[in-house]
Amino acid sequence: MARRNRLSKAEKQNLVLRHAEHLISLAEEVYDSDPSLAHGYAEEIVKSALRVNLRLPSRIKRRICRKCRHFLMPGRNARVRTSQGHVVSTCLDCGHISRFGYTREQKEKRSPGRAQEEAGKEAGKN
Ligand SMILES: [Zn+2]
């Protein structure tokens, strides 16, 4: 890769993540007046995450349809249910069903920023 960018990979990922969080809240705001704009934001999040190899946190991932990359607005174009420890969200635009476990998210909430440390421990165990 060309060395025109001074930012490290982690810094880029961090920027993309913050940008993604910003775009998600923008998408929420504009969805009512302009759903296609909201879908455009969702697509931009997915594309930029792919570009820097960022794994989107579930709080963002669950707002975007994996199949049609539409922004998912619960109660509007998405149906969100919980069953057996999973959040099941159905994209009403393409019918794609995504399941997210929420135990891991609760773990992340309890110890923010310690994901890497946890991952190291996991690796040692195996
Ligand atoms: Zn969809």
Higher per-residue pLDDT: 118 or 9: 9
pLDDT at 124: 52
Q: What percent of the chain has pLDDT over 70?
A: 76
The domain ranges of the chain are 9-125
Q: Provide the b/e sequence for 93-125 (b: ≥16 CB within 10 Å).
A: beeeebebeeeeeeeeeeeeeeeeeeeeeeeee
Q: How far is the CA of 108 from the centre of ligand 1 (A)?
A: 27
Q: How far is the CA of 95 from the centre of ligand 1 (A)?
A: 6
**116: part of which helix (H) or strand (E)?**
helix 115-125
Q: How far is the CA of 67 from the centre of ligand 1 (A)?
A: 5
In single-letter form, the type of residue at position 116 comes to Q
Q: How far is the CA of 114 from the centre of ligand 1 (A)?
A: 32
Q: What is the DSSP letter of 98?
A: E
Q: What percent of the chain has pLDDT over 90?
A: 67
What pTM, to 2 d.p., does this model score?
A: 0.75
Rounded average pLDDT over 100-112 = 61
